[in-house]
A = this chain, B = another copy of it.
């Protein structure tokens, strides 16, 4: 027998989904390993912003399948390949956003909650010229909000 225990207990539905994801990864030049597929599955299953910590916890919920190092390596790889967008709103944590279309964010500084703003709700006019010798690497617009009942 050449299959691993993890494969043995995997149901057919899951295999289909995983193979889907695997081919998506191959398309952008990423070798689809078991860990990468699982991480991608978690990131793209829900329309939610997740930290490395949260991904780690979900991946290993039913027994350990990926190490901390792999999570960080993989999230960084996905970001470089454009599969996810890094959102930097909290100095102590990077969020990974599986929505790579143009959009902006609310960040609740009391709760740490991060939510999307559809791009067409906000219009930027009179954009500044970039400094000479530079090119754009993205625009972040963050509305920091506070829960109104919170002590200031």
Residues on A lying within 8 angstroms of B by beta carbon are: 86, 88-94, 104, 106, 108-109, 115, 117, 121-128, 130-131, 133-149
Known contacts A94-B91, A131-B145, A135-B148; A124/B124 CB under 8 A: yes
CB distance from A9 to the nearest CB of B (A): 37
By the criterion CB–CB under 8 Å, are B133 and A144 in contact?
no
CB distance from A100 to the nearest CB of B (A): 15
The secondary-structure label for the interface of chain A is strand
By the criterion CB–CB under 8 Å, are A122 and B115 in contact?
no
Name, among A138, A143, A146, the residue most crowded by chain B CB atoms within 10 Å (CB to CB): A143
Q: Which residues of B contact A149 (CB under 8 A)?
A: 133
**9 pairs from A and B in contact (CB 8 Å cutoff):** A106-B130, A106-B131, A108-B131, A122-B127, A128-B143, A130-B143, A134-B146, A140-B144, A142-B142
By the criterion CB–CB under 8 Å, are B123 and A126 in contact?
yes
Known contacts A123-B125, A128-B122; A143/B135 CB under 8 A: no
CB distance from A116 to the nearest CB of B (A): 10
By the criterion CB–CB under 8 Å, are B139 and A144 in contact?
yes
By the criterion CB–CB under 8 Å, are B139 and A134 in contact?
no
Q: Which residues of B contact A134 (CB under 8 A)?
A: 106, 108, 145-148
CB distance from A123 to the nearest CB of B (A): 4
